[in-house]
């Protein structure tokens, strides 16, 4: 018979792995997004002005947006894919709506800088799509291997 600690221990371990996956994805993708934001601003011939508080806020937002992917990392494949795409959609919406504030700076950028800006925007899209994948990968790594079935009773008695 399993003890209460076994059932709740697995639940706590899973919740910790989800939280860890969210934190890892939030930090990695948030920092990548922050660097790309700075690069786009510089490529648009604007002055890049970022604060520590703003960076922490971005990391927090990217961590929160990673929750659907991390929470579905060990679910059935269709649910796992849905979690990844929900994260990608939410992240894409949040970054696109924030990016519209910088639209005039990008549109008024010198024409010779447009190829650089386009490459950076495509890189940003790649980071957005990778967000859910990273959250799920980190969660599965932190959760460890899936529990295995108990050995048959005869095998356990024979080895003992």
pLDDT at 29: 95
Residue 5 lies in a domain: no
pLDDT at 61: 94
Task: Output the six-digit token pair for 77.
Answer: 């494949």
pLDDT at 12: 86
CA distance 97 to 70: 23
Range of the domain at 55: 10-142
Residue 92 lies in a domain: yes
Average pLDDT for runs of 10 along the chain of length 160:
63 90 95 90 83 93 95 93 94 82 77 89 91 94 73 55
What is the per-residue DSSP string for 17-71?
HHHHHHHHHHHHHHHHHHHHHHHHHHHTT------HHHHHHHHHHHHHHTHHHHH
pLDDT at 1: 45
pLDDT at 2: 53
Task: Output the six-digit token pair for 64.
Answer: 């929160």
pLDDT at 4: 54
CA distance 72 to 136: 7
CB 137 within 8 A of CB 84: no
Residue 160 lies in a domain: no
Give the 3-state secondary structure of residue 145: coil
Half-sphere exposure of 112 (CA within 13 A, CB side): 1
pLDDT at 80: 95
pLDDT at 160: 52
CA 82 to chain centre: 14
Residue 1 lies in a domain: no
Residue 33's CB is within 10 A of a number of other CB atoms, namely 23
- b/e map 84-117, b = 16+ CB within 10 Å: bebbbebbbebbeeeeeeeeeebeebeeeeeeeb
Report the number of distinct structural domains present in the chain.
Answer: 1
Residue 148 lies in a domain: no
Residue 74 lies in a domain: yes
């Amino acid at each position: 018979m399993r003890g209460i600690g076994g059932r709740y221990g697995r639940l706590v371990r899973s919740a910790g792995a989800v939280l860890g996956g969210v934190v890892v994805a939030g930090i990695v993708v948030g920092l990548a997004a922050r660097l790309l934001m700075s690069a786009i601003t510089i490529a648009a011939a604007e002055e890049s002005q970022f604060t520590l508080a703003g960076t922490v806020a971005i990391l927090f937002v990217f961590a929160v947006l990673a929750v659907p992917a991390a929470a579905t990392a060990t679910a059935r494949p269709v649910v796992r894919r849905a979690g990844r795409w929900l994260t990608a959609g939410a992240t894409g919406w949040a970054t696109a709506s924030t990016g519209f504030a910088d639209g005039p700076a990008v549109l008024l950028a010198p024409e010779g800088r447009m190829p650089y800006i386009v490459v950076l925007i495509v890189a940003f899209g790649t980071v957005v799509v990778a967000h859910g994948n990273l959250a799920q990968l980190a969660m599965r790594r932190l959760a460890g291997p899936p529990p295995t079935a108990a050995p048959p009773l005869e095998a356990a008695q024979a080895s003992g």
